[in-house]
């Protein structure tokens, strides 16, 4: 049987060696790429009705967690966020404090469903922050998008986290 | 939407694209449950469970045998996952299908749906001859019917000697053995042979 016990773990041949700053293993698995036909269908779906969404990369090798925490090399199960958040000393910040490189968390029904990286933040005429995010949607492509323009499956952007160290 | 149309829809690129927006298995199930075609198949399973189980297993056997480009994910990964999810609600037959998918290369979602089914697979005499009948029907209905039965556990299941008898394929002998075994079959593995 080709069932892998300990999927994403240290003995999984599809996993890359990936650890937190505290040297805890981050479960991960390099995802098979999707065929060009499948990727075209996925991109068409993602961009339909979303004029402000721009495709950055059409890879399936990584997921939304793999983008910020594995430099786009592999997929990381979303339940690893708590481990990474604690071990890598992320701290929660307000939306208005977010800067490029910080992490935005989307939740639905309380569950973390999606992770993105803040790409740009500026303030609109009304004084409210306007945030652009870079994130991988499922396994089917990485997009620049306004923070509130994601598939509704992911829920809403409710938390911002940073690993920035303050100026000494 | 008819059952046939639902099956066609589940195997489209667009269906696959919608389900692949999911970032984890919980979201995958949520995305699948929102699909009209999945609702139609689930309703058909309730209305005519024997027929639909056979249909779903047949589709799994056929799709699992498609030649896969090793550079890419299995082209029917999402469809296999959804069929197995539906079939898994009838767990003994779900185990048979999960075994097939576990041997199918380049699956992502489907292998994730299969894993818990196999982990919870019955090891005692919980199954019945219904499995043998349904598997037999599915294999016979399959468009690409050439399958190797590598494991059948249970009293009365075909043994290695019976599979080696000359003149008949191991497949037909094994299936005949399964039908004879009826209620004594507890677990079965059906693998698609190389095309």
Confidence of residue B173 (pLDDT cuts 50, 70, 90): very low
| Least confident span in A8-12, A78-82, A123-127, B190-194 | B190-194
Q: What is the pLDDT of residue A168?
A: 84
pLDDT tens-place string over residues B63-86: 988 888 999 999 999 999 999 999
CB pairs under 8 A between A and B: 85
Q: What is the pLDDT of residue A14?
A: 81
Q: Is the pLDDT of residue A162 over 60?
A: yes
| Cα B95 from Cα B189, distance rounded (Å) | 8
| Cα A42 from Cα A137, distance rounded (Å) | 10
Stated pTM of the model: 0.80
The nearest CA of chain B is from the CA of A148 a distance in Å of: 16
Chain A positions touching chain B (beta carbons under 8 Å): 1-3, 7, 31-35, 37-38, 40-42, 44-46, 60, 63-65, 77-79, 111, 113-114, 137-140, 151, 153-154
Q: Is the pLDDT of residue B6 over 50?
A: yes
Q: What is the pLDDT of residue B120?
A: 74
Q: What is the pLDDT of residue B59?
A: 92
Any residues with CB less than 8 A from the CB of B161 and at least 6 apart, and which? none
| Cα A142 from Cα A140, distance rounded (Å) | 7
Query: What does the angle CA A53 – CA A56 – CA A62 come to, to the nearest 5 degrees?
Result: 110
Asked if A113 and A106 count as a contact pair (C-beta separation under 8 A), the reply is yes
- For B133, the 3-state DSSP assignment is helix
| Cα A31 from Cα B182, distance rounded (Å) | 40
Confidence of residue B133 (pLDDT cuts 50, 70, 90): low
Q: What is the ipTM metric for this complex? A: 0.89
Confidence of residue B138 (pLDDT cuts 50, 70, 90): low
């Amino acid at each position: 049987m080709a069932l892998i016990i300990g999927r994403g773990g240290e003995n999984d041949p599809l996993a890359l060696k990936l650890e937190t700053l505290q040297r805890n293993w981050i479960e991960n698995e390099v995802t098979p790429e999707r065929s060009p036909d499948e990727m075209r269908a996925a991109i068409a779906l993602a961009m339909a009705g979303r004029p402000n969404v721009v495709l950055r990369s059409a890879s399936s090798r990584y997921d939304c967690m793999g983008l910020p925490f594995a430099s786009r090399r592999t997929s990381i199960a979303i339940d690893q966020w708590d481990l990474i958040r604690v071990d890598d000393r992320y701290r929660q910040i307000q939306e208005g404090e977010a800067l490029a490189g910080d992490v935005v968390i989307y939740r639905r029904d309380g569950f973390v469903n999606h992770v993105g990286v803040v790409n740009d933040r500026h303030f609109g005429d009304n004084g409210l922050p306007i945030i652009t995010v870079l994130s991988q949607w499922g396994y089917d492509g990485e997009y620049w998008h306004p923070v509130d323009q994601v598939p509704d499956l992911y829920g809403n952007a409710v938390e911002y986290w940073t690993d920035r160290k303050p100026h000494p | 939407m008819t059952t046939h149309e639902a099956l066609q829809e589940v195997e489209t690129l667009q269906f696959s694209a919608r389900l692949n927006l999911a970032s984890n298995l919980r979201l995958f199930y949520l995305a699948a449950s929102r699909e009209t075609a999945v609702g139609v198949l689930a309703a058909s399973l309730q209305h005519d469970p024997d027929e639909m189980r056979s249909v779903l297993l047949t589709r799994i056997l056929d799709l699992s045998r498609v030649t896969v480009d090793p550079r890419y994910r299995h082209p029917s990964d999402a469809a296999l996952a959804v069929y197995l999810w539906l079939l898994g609600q009838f767990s003994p037959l779900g185990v048979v299908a999960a075994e097939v998918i576990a041997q199918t290369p380049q699956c992502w979602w489907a292998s994730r749906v299969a894993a818990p089914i196999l982990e919870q697979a019955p090891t005692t005499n919980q199954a019945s001859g219904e499995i043998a009948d349904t598997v037999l029907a599915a294999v016979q209905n399959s468009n690409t019917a050439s399958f190797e039965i590598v494991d059948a556990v249970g009293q009365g299941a075909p043994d290695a000697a019976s599979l080696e008898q000359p003149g008949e394929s191991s497949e037909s002998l094994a299936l005949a053995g399964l039908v004879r075994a009826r209620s004594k079959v507890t677990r079965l593995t059906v693998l698609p042979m190389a095309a």
